[in-house]
Structure formats: C-alpha cells, structure tokens
Amino acid sequence: MVVATLSPSVYARLDGSLQRSSSVTARNVTALRSAYWLLLVSGFFEPLLYLLTIGYGLGTMIGRIPVGDGQTVKYAVYVAPAMLASSAMTGALAESTFNFFGKMKFQKTFDSVLATPVRPMEIAFGELWWAMFRGALYSAAFLVIMVFMHLTSSLWALIALPATLLVGFTFGAVGMALSTFMRSWQDFDVVATVQVALFLFSATFAPLSAFHQAWLRVLIQCSPLYQSVALLRGITLGRPTAGLLVHVAYLAVLMMVCLFIAARRMHKQLLK
C-alpha cells in the first residue's frame, strides 16, 4: 500500500539509488585480480575439509546426535549444515571487515567513490551485494556437495539456498557495522577471535545440551551463528517448523540494525 502512494519522483530516486549501489558492486567485480579469484574459490575448500575430517573422521568415534523430538542423526549429517552456515558467515565477514576496512581507511576507495553522485548508504548496499554474492558462491557449491553425499535432499537444498543468502547478508551487514568502529588492523584480531568462538560454540560441532550451564546455553542461543545454524539445520534435515521463522526474523532484524549503524557512521566518517 505504501508503494502505491509513492510519487513518481520517489520511484526515480529509488531507481537511481539502486543503479548507483550496483555500480559499487560492479567496481568490485572489475577490480578482481587473478590471484584474488583463486583465493575466493579456495575459501570454499575449508568447510569441506572440516566436514570430511571432523564430520566423517571424528564422526567414526561419535554416536548419533539428538536433534530434538527424540530424533537422532549421524554426526556428519549434524555437522554439515553448521559448516554451510559458518562458510556463509566467513565469506561475508572476510569481505565486509578486512577488505571493506582497507578500502575505507587505506586505499581511500570510498573517498573517490563519493566524488561521484554515490552516497554512503549506496556504498553500504553495493558492498553488501558483493559480500552476499561471494557468500552465495560458497553456499551453492557446498549444498551441491551435501546433496551428492546424501546429507540432504535436492529439494531441501534448493530451499536452503535463499536461507544461506539471508545468513550471508546478515553477516555482511554485521561486518560492515563493525568495520566502522575499527581503528587499526590489530582490532581485527578481536573480530577473528570472536568469529572462532562463534564457529566452535554455536551448536556447530556439539549440541546445546553438551553445555551444562543454563546461562551459557542462553548466551549461545543469542549468537547470530547459532540462529543461522538452527535455521539451516531445520531446512536441510527436512524438518520445517514455525520456529524457523523466529530465526529468520532474528537475522532480518539484526541485518537492518547493522545496516542502519553502518550507513550512519560511514556518513559521519566519510563526509567530514
């Protein structure tokens, strides 16, 4: 209904805005060098390694894992969606923290972009499209492997793909918002450490019930990666419940808040 009442000039503005933010994405694609492409592709290698060595290797010494409602699954089946979610997170965060920060502070890429009609919010969106594209590449490849290894069915894999995009989009926004607070490269050590903590404790390798302290379980459930893993695990196991919508809502809200913070702070820092 809101759309219907928008005047034509607002349409034109939205259209221009979309065009300008996609130019920011196009810049990233153009700037790709051959070695960087290889690195981009190799990012997909890591979750696969974890799936093979931990999911299958360590899995030989681990019994079935409970996934609620009295059901249990093989360890590899349990770990696979978690690797899917964390690879979406890693791809999006790599692009939106390290690379984004470099462009903002050192390469002065955004200063030159702002000399054109592009505005900070449009840079934020353009960079986010790019982070999401990278995440989508990893996710799609990993889902294909999961189908081949009978860790999910092809139908559920198709449904999981947009969910991984949401995960990538959310972590892209989180990373961008964080980057505006960074002072130096050393601060990224903290980001990397938190990222590893999320990777290890978000019901990725061990179910929530492995943690005996109630406060710890609550803390884990608040983590964005936990929400992502729970969403993707529900889908790839073929167990759609209304609870999955809660995870979707959590991620969507987090993404909007972070986008808002990122755009606001970029406005302040870049348009001095």
Partner 1 sequence: MSGALAVLNYNLVGYRRTWRGSALTSFVLPVLFVLGFGVAVGSYVNTGQLGGGTYLAYLAPGMIASTAMQVAFGESTWPIQTKFTWVRTYHAMIAAPLAIRDLVFGDMTFLVLRVVSSSAVFLFVTSLFGAVHSWWAIGVLPACGLLGVAIAAPVFAFTATMDSSTNYFAFLQRFIVIPMSLFAGVFYPISKLPVFLQPLAWASPLWHAVEICRAATHTNHGSLWALLGHVAYLLLWAVVGLWLALRQYRRRLSD
Which residue ranges make up the site for partner 1 (CB under 8 A)?
Answer: 35, 38-39, 42-43, 45-46, 49-50, 53-54, 57-58, 60-63, 65, 75, 186, 189-190, 192-193, 196-197, 200-201, 205-206, 210-211
Find the shortest distance in angstroms from Cβ 61 to partner 1: 5
Find the shortest distance in angstroms from Cβ 257 to partner 1: 27
- Angle (nearest 5°) at CA 40 between 34 and 44: 140
Find the shortest distance in angstroms from Cβ 53 to partner 1: 4
Residue 1 vs 35, nearer CB to partner 1: 35
Q: Which amino acid is at 89?
A: M
Helix (H) or strand (E) holding 41: helix 34-42
132 closest CA partner among 164, 85, 99, 179: 164
Residue 7 vs 42, nearer CB to partner 1: 42
Find the shortest distance in angstroms from Cβ 80 to partner 1: 15
Rounded to 10°, the helix 224-236/75-94 angle is 130
Residue 230 vs 266, nearer CB to partner 1: 230
Give the span between the Cα atoms of 134 and 40, in whole angstroms: 8
239 closest CA partner among 117, 156, 167: 156
Find the shortest distance in angstroms from Cβ 50 to partner 1: 7
Find the shortest distance in angstroms from Cβ 219 to partner 1: 13
Give the span between the Cα atoms of 230 and 209, in whole angstroms: 14
Residue 75 vs 133, nearer CB to partner 1: 75
Query: Is residue 72 within 8 Å of residue 66, measured between CB atoms?
Result: yes
Residue 130 vs 199, nearer CB to partner 1: 199
Find the shortest distance in angstroms from Cβ 245 to partner 1: 28
Give the span between the Cα atoms of 134 and 121, in whole angstroms: 20
Helix (H) or strand (E) holding 73: strand 72-73
Residue 50 vs 169, nearer CB to partner 1: 50
Residue 48 vs 161, nearer CB to partner 1: 48
Query: Is residue 138 within 8 Å of residue 223, measured between CB atoms?
Result: no
Strand partners, 66: 72
Phi, psi of 65 (to 5 degrees): -110, 130
Rounded (10°) CA dihedral 52, 54, 56, 58: 150
